[in-house]
Amino acid sequence: MHDGKRLECPSSYDTSNHDSTELPELNPQQKAAVQYINGPLLVLAGAGSGKTSVITRKIVWLIRDYGIAPRNIVAVTFTNKAAREMKARVGDLLNGAHGKELLISTFHALGLRILRDHLETIGYRPGFSLYDSEDSQSLLAKLLRGQYSGKNNPADVVRHQISLWKNNLVSPAEAPLSAGGESIQDIAARVYGEYERHLQAYNAMDLDDLILKPVRLFQNHPEVLEEWRRRVRYLLVDEYQDTNLCQYELVKLLAGSRGALTVVGDDDQSIYAWRGAHPENLKHLQQDYPSLKVIKLEQNYRSSGRILKAANALIANNPHIFEKALWCERDYGESLRVLKARGDEHEAERVVSELLHHKFKHNTDFRDYAILFRENNQSRVLERVLRERRIPYFLSGGSSFFDKTEIKDVMTYLRLLCNPGDDNAFLRVINTPRREIGAATLEQLSAHAGELGTSLLQASLDAGIERRLSARQVAILRVFTHWLTDMIGKAAEEDPAKLVCDILTDLHYEEWLKDTCNDLKIAQRRMENVLELVAWIQRLARQDEEDKSLNGLVARLTLAGILDRGNEENPGDLVALMTLHAVKGLEFPHVFIVGMEEGLLPHHQSRSDTGVEEERRLAYVGITRARQTLTFSFVERRKRGGEVIACEPSRFLKELPPDDLRWEEPDREPDPQAMLGRADVYLSNLRNMLGNS
């Protein structure tokens, strides 16, 4: 039970001097959310209601008007992009003052910061490796090897299950009790403890550990928790509906009984149950903080009245923790179109044609359009049609900067220098560039490491390896490992950016790129990417006053690489192609949602009532991304799994206001006059474009 203590204002602060006339750019509900500070607050923020403005203004309010030091304010969100934008906006409002002292970060970056000074307490050494999903899956595949043949190795499914358990605070000892008799859960329960022991032995953590281990640290070491509670005088959390149980516990521990807390969320936009999100955390908040104040932001500044009406009608079919209804002062807007297509290829051609026609008619940019879909594989036919029409596009969720081979090479070397016990990193770089260390050599090395109970690097330096390998194999191996140990020594003293340059020079990396790339331009581009990474390391070292070590820089860069995957920004004037999950937090003037069919949206795997409710929220998120126009499409038949199946329109289309929809059949004969008018518009715009180029 919380004691309801209020946050004390500085004695110099006089609340009577601040009235509702301040913050004129905010509406009354937004002002109330900014200015309320006497207890825990939930801001129920509908789509497009200006929640980011509320959070940033509240941070400024806390600093300027309540006299809380910036270093004592922590704001948490889910993506690096959101954190960067929030920090930039606060910096602008404060005219650049105090910007470096503010801690605005993702949950995982906050966890990393908490752990940084307490690694020994949890049994870790400095320079621990952060495993991404690929690293974790590789380790699990090794642990499961022998039980399953190559293609049947369930490492990916097991990794997902262990991730869910960690997110739900389920320990390896508790996992068998929650397995429920399902075979894959039983497998995961058997290997979970061994997976954790290997991570500890490798001085490694996975992404989920960055939340779980701070929670366990706080639970087991009250003195550390008290230290952080003194550090965090006010806590703000964005996208609260996406928190899992572990993140909820971290927030609760940090906020403590003071309740100096503002969370912003919307249960109608909770779409991540598959990765452990609990929209019920909004309800738990009320239970844990009986004095919780709820302020609803229902005025939408993004979409037309017709789009909002459709969104409200759709989501009304779901049960709600809190009732709300979006409204706006904008025009009612155009009808919502529903395009019927014969098949997926016809759907793609029709959507792209409509997009082109609209662009030429209204002289818009390609970046004004987004095509959204439920499954990643729906993008293939869309991409083909866009390429055929020579329309530039951007596919969200493609490879990120950190997925590039050359970036992975350099980052893995740095990981190994920080953590010589990281066997995954050792195996990746041992033949990059090629050193003629073959699979047979590595098998013998692994066997020797297993016998000694040491890392591959330590095993390669052990005299006993000479009994297993030929003199030539030992000589090649020792050249690499002696160089590596020298670099490990340098890493403790040398500037990180200079260290990277030394590595690249010693490896003759640029020459190796030129030798292995078919095209010199490709080699140059890859080297430019590496130099961009070096510049990034330099910037990070300048920005962080507390930790300029290689260990800290590598951990933050690795985390950035993991979190930024699938969150790349549109690099130019391109049509956006993305899944409905990826579009969360974005908006576009014109939106197409394709594949509005039973089995796709809602997805065929969402058979339960709660599953359909989440799919409805997913459709709601898609609808509320649109500012001006919204077009749906569905097909009569779709190729799936090598066969063509008949399709039915999504039930969600039937839940939209029928008077606001305009259904368009695929075989409608075009009006010759309309076709002529369309051609005239096209040519006119084309001339304008050519004339302006």
Which residues lie across from 262 on neighbouring strands?
41, 236
Name every residue whose Cβ is closer than 8 Å to that of residue 536 and which is 6 or more positions away in sequence.
557
Strand residues in 523-610 grouped as ranges (E): 575-579, 588-593
Three-state DSSP string of 364-396:
CCHHHEEEEECCHHHHHHHHHHHHHCCCCEEEC
**Which position among 132, 135, 206, 238 bears the catalytic label?**
238
Residue 29 is a catalytic residue: no
- Strand, helix or coil at 605? coil
| C-alpha 342: how far from chain center | 35
* Residue in 7, 8, 56 with CA at minimum distance from that of residue 34: 56
* Residue in 34, 81, 38, 78 with CA at minimum distance from that of residue 55: 34
> How many other CB atoms are found less than 10 A from the CB of residue 480?
17
* Residue in 186, 190, 199, 193 with CA at minimum distance from that of residue 171: 193
**Which position among 302, 625, 627, 638 bears the catalytic label?**
625
Residue 239 is a catalytic residue: yes
* Residue in 342, 377, 371 with CA at minimum distance from that of residue 638: 342
**Which position among 31, 51, 229, 584 bears the catalytic label?**
51
Question: Is the separation of the CB atoms in 496 and 550 below 8 Å?
Answer: yes
**Which position among 56, 269, 378, 558 bears the catalytic label?**
269
Q: Which two tokens stand for residue 157?
A: 């499914």
Question: Is the separation of the CB atoms in 234 and 62 below 8 Å?
Answer: yes
Question: Is the separation of the CB atoms in 630 and 314 below 8 Å?
Answer: no
> How many other CB atoms are found less than 10 A from the CB of residue 131?
25
**Does the CA dihedral 406-408-414-420 come out positive or negative?**
negative
Residue 269 is a catalytic residue: yes
> Maximum distance among all alpha carbons in the chain?
87
Which residues lie across from 547 on neighbouring strands?
none
Residue 238 is a catalytic residue: yes
DSSP code of 302? S
**Which position among 208, 239, 249, 423 bears the catalytic label?**
239
Question: Is the separation of the CB atoms in 424 and 135 below 8 Å?
Answer: yes
Q: Which stretches within 266-404 are classed as H helix?
A: 281-288, 305-315, 344-362, 379-388
Instruction: Give catalytic residues, as residue numbers.
Output: 51-52, 238-239, 269, 625
